[in-house]
Amino acid sequence: MPKMTGKKALLEMLTAEGVEYIFGNPGTSETAIMHALEDYPNLQYILATQEGVAMGAADAYARATGKPAFINLHIETGLANGISLLHNAAAGGTPLVLTAGNKDMRKLIEGRTPLAEMVKLFTKWSVELTHPEQIPGAVRKAFDEARTPPTGPTFIAFSANSLDGEAEMEIVPNNEGYFRTSPDKNSIATASKILLSSKNPIMLVGDRVAQSKASEEAVKLAEYIGAPVYAAYYSEMNFPSKHPLFKGFMKWGFPETKELLTNFDAVLAVGNVFSGYFFFADEGSNTLSNNTRLIHIDASASVIGNSEPTDVGIICDPKTGMSELHQSLKDMSSGSYQEEVKGRKEKVSSQIQSDRELAKADSRKHWNHLPMSAARMMHEIATSIPENTVIVDDSVTTRTAVFESIEFNKPGQIFGERGGAIGWGLGAGIGTKLANPDRPVIAIVGDGSAMMTVQAFYTAAIKDIPIVYVICNNQSYRVLKVNMDIYKDLVLGETENQSKYLAMDFPQALNMAALAEAMGVKGVHIDKPDDIGPALTQAIQSNRPTVLDISIDGSL
C-alpha cells in the first residue's frame, strides 16, 4: 500500500467519492487541509464567511444532487456556529458529511474539546480520528452512513497529528448502494384490507416521498383510493401541488387538525409526517380518534408509532412500499369499490377546486394596496420566471402565497427550509445553483432569515454565482407574531387583548439591497408590484448574482 499523510488521504478519498465542492470556513485547525488542497484543483473550495452559509449551501446541494455534500468547519468555535443549521439537516434527513479540525492529541492535557460529542445529538454517526491510517475507512463510512436511508448528517473530527502524520493507506471508495427495501407482505395485505373497507380515507405525505423519488407512486395510490392528500411537509415536490386531489398543508397537533380528522376513518401516512408542536395543547391527547385507522409507511422505524397509535406500521423504502400497496389494492378490489372511489374522487376534487377559488379571491382583497401583499408579490414573480426555474423556499410566513402562485409538478422544482432554525435560504440558494448550473434559481427568503446569514451575498459575489434572491421584506419576525397569537389562544385562552409583540418588529427596515451592494452583489429595492417583473427578468438575463429587496405588508 502507498504511504501518505492523513491530509492527502482525506483529499484522495473525497476525490474517489466524487466530491466536487468543499463548503466551509477555514481556521488554524484546518491549515493542513488547506495546504494539501493546493494540489487538488478538482476540489473547489466554496468560501463562506459565516458557517451558517456553508451549512445552508451544502444542505441544498446535497438535496438537489441526491448525494452527500462535504463541509469543513473550524474546531469548536466554527462548528458551534454551524450547529443551528445542522439541526435542520438532521430534522430533514439531509445526507451531509461535516468535518472539523482539532488540536493535536499531544495537547490533551492542555485541553481539547471533544468535537464528536458536540454534534452527537444531530448526526447519525460522529467520530474523532487520532491516527492518519483511520482516515480512509472513516471517510468511507461517513459517506455511506449519510446516504443510507434514513439519510442524515455524519461528522468526523481530525486531530492535527492525524492529518500531518504518515501511514500506509489504501484509497477505496464506496460501491453503489441498493436501498429499495421491500415491506413485510403481511403488513401490505392488512393495510389493503383497511383501505378497501374505508369509506372516507385521507393521505398524508412528507419529504421522504421526494427523497425516495416516489411522487408518481403517491399520485397513483391517492387516485386509486380516492383520497384527498395533505402535506405535513413540502420542502420538496412530494405530490403535484395543483393535482385535483391535493388539499394543501396540514398543521399537525393543532385543534383544527384534530377536528378535521374526525371526518376520516383511515389515514395513509408516508414519511415523517407527525411532528410535535411547541405548545402543549388539547391536554396532550392523540390527534387521531379511536375510530380512525392509521397506516404509516417510512424508511425509519423510529418515526412509526412515535406520536400516534399506529394500526399498521410498514418499514420500507416509500417508493417500493407504495408500489406494492397499490398492486395489492388492485388485486384485492372489486368493481363496486372502483365505482365507489370514482364518486368519492369527484366529490373531493370539486371541493378542493372550490376551496382554491375562495382562497384566490381572498388573496386579492388587498391586491392594489401598498405595501403590497405577499400574494401580489408572488403573483408578479410567478408570471415572470422561466418554466425551468428552481425555487428555493425560505419565505417563512409568505409560503402560502408561494404555493398559491407557483405550480410544483416535477421533482427538483422546489427545495424548502425544514427544521426549526432560520438562516438557511441564502446559503441554500448558492448550493442549489451549483447543483443546477443550467437552470434559473430563485431563492425566496424572509428578511429575518436573510439577516442571519447575509454573508452569503459575499460568497455569491466572489464566486460569481448567478443566483437571484427575492427578499420578502415585511420589517418583522412575522412568524413570531403568528405564534404569539396561537400561544395566547391555545395556551392562555386569551383572544381579546392584542399582544404588544415585543422584539418582533424591525423599527428600521433591513436594507437588504444596500447590504448586497456592499458585498459586491447588485441590489434592487422594490416598492411597487409592477416593477417586480422587469427587475426579475433583467436579473435572470444578467447571469450575475442579484438581490431584489421587496417591501411587503407584514400585518396579521
The CATH number given to whatever domain includes residue 467 is 3.40.50.970
252-261, 270-279, 299-308, 518-527: range with highest mean pLDDT: 518-527
Q: Are 417 and 425 in contact (CB under 8 A)?
A: yes
Q: What's the whole-number mean pLDDT along residues 230-251?
A: 94
Residue 40 lies in a domain: yes
Q: Looking at the structure, do residues 528 and 393 belong to the same domain, yes or no?
A: yes
Is the pLDDT at 282 greater than 70, yes or no?
A: no
Q: How far is CA 69 from CA 3, 20, 57, 147, 344, in A?
A: 27, 9, 9, 10, 44
Residue 195 lies in a domain: yes
* pLDDT above 70 coverage of the chain, percent: 98
Identify the CA nearest to 332 among candidates 194, 435, 160: 194
Predicted TM-score (pTM) of this structure = 0.96
Q: Looking at the structure, do residues 157 and 13 belong to the same domain, yes or no?
A: yes
Is the pLDDT at 408 greater than 80, yes or no?
A: yes
Please tell me which residue, 243 or 109, carries the higher pLDDT value: 243
* pLDDT above 90 coverage of the chain, percent: 87
Q: What is the dihedral of CA 51, 57, 58, 63, to 10 degrees?
A: 150
Q: Looking at the structure, do residues 103 and 147 belong to the same domain, yes or no?
A: yes
The pLDDT value recorded for residue 254 is: 76
Q: Looking at the structure, do residues 333 and 395 belong to the same domain, yes or no?
A: no
| C-alpha cell read off for 105 | 492529541
- What residue spans of 66-212 are helical by DSSP H? 75-92, 115-118, 135-147, 160-164, 185-197, 208-211
Is the pLDDT at 7 greater than 60, yes or no?
A: yes
Residue 417 lies in a domain: yes
| Bond preceding residue 371 cis, omega within 30 of 0 | yes
- Domain residue limits at 472: 366-551
d(CA 373, CA 171): 56
Is the pLDDT at 274 greater than 90, yes or no?
A: no
Q: What's the whole-number mean pLDDT along residues 307-330?
A: 96
Is the pLDDT at 5 greater than 60, yes or no?
A: yes
End of a domain among 121, 143, 168?
168
Residue 178 lies in a domain: no
Residue 131 backbone dihedrals phi, psi, to 5 degrees:
-135, 145
d(CA 363, CA 107): 62
End of a domain among 100, 135, 168?
168
d(CA 457, CA 518): 9
End of a domain among 357, 378, 397?
357
Convert the pLDDT of each residue in 90-104 to its tens digit.
999 999 999 999 999
Is the pLDDT at 279 greater than 70, yes or no?
A: no
Q: Looking at the structure, do residues 262 and 373 belong to the same domain, yes or no?
A: no
Residue 175 lies in a domain: no
Compute the mean pLDDT over every residue in the chain, rounded to the nearest whole number.
95
Q: Looking at the structure, do residues 207 and 112 belong to the same domain, yes or no?
A: no
Residue 173 lies in a domain: no
Please tell me which residue, 307 or 328, carries the higher pLDDT value: 328
Q: Looking at the structure, do residues 282 and 325 belong to the same domain, yes or no?
A: yes
Q: Determine which helix (DSSP H) or strand (DSSP E) holds 128, and give its type and residue range.
A: strand 125-129
Is the pLDDT at 494 greater than 70, yes or no?
A: yes
The pLDDT value recorded for residue 161 is: 96
The pLDDT value recorded for residue 110 is: 82
Q: Looking at the structure, do residues 411 and 532 belong to the same domain, yes or no?
A: yes
The one-letter amino acid code at 211 reads Q
Q: 3-class DSSP state for residue 290?
A: coil
Q: Looking at the structure, do residues 373 and 350 belong to the same domain, yes or no?
A: no
Q: Looking at the structure, do residues 7 and 109 belong to the same domain, yes or no?
A: yes
Residue found under cell 395556551: 491
Convert the pLDDT of each residue in 11-41 to its tens digit.
999 999 999 999 999 999 999 999 999 999 9
Q: What's the whole-number mean pLDDT along residues 456-463?
A: 98
Q: Looking at the structure, do residues 501 and 471 belong to the same domain, yes or no?
A: yes
- What residue spans of 407-525 are helical by DSSP H? 425-435, 447-452, 456-462, 478-486, 512-518
166 beta partners? 5
Identify the CA nearest to 367 among candidates 359, 357, 378, 375: 375
Convert the pLDDT of each residue in 334-378 to its tens digit.
999 999 999 999 999 999 999 999 999 999 999 999 999 999 999
Number of structural domains the chain divides into: 3
Q: Looking at the structure, do residues 278 and 422 belong to the same domain, yes or no?
A: no
Is the pLDDT at 284 greater than 60, yes or no?
A: no
167 beta partners? 4
Convert the pLDDT of each residue in 410-442 to its tens digit.
999 999 999 889 999 999 999 999 999 999 999
Confidence of residue 192 (pLDDT cuts 50, 70, 90): very high
**CATH code, domain carrying 190:** 3.40.50.1220
Residue 556 lies in a domain: no
The pLDDT value recorded for residue 259 is: 85
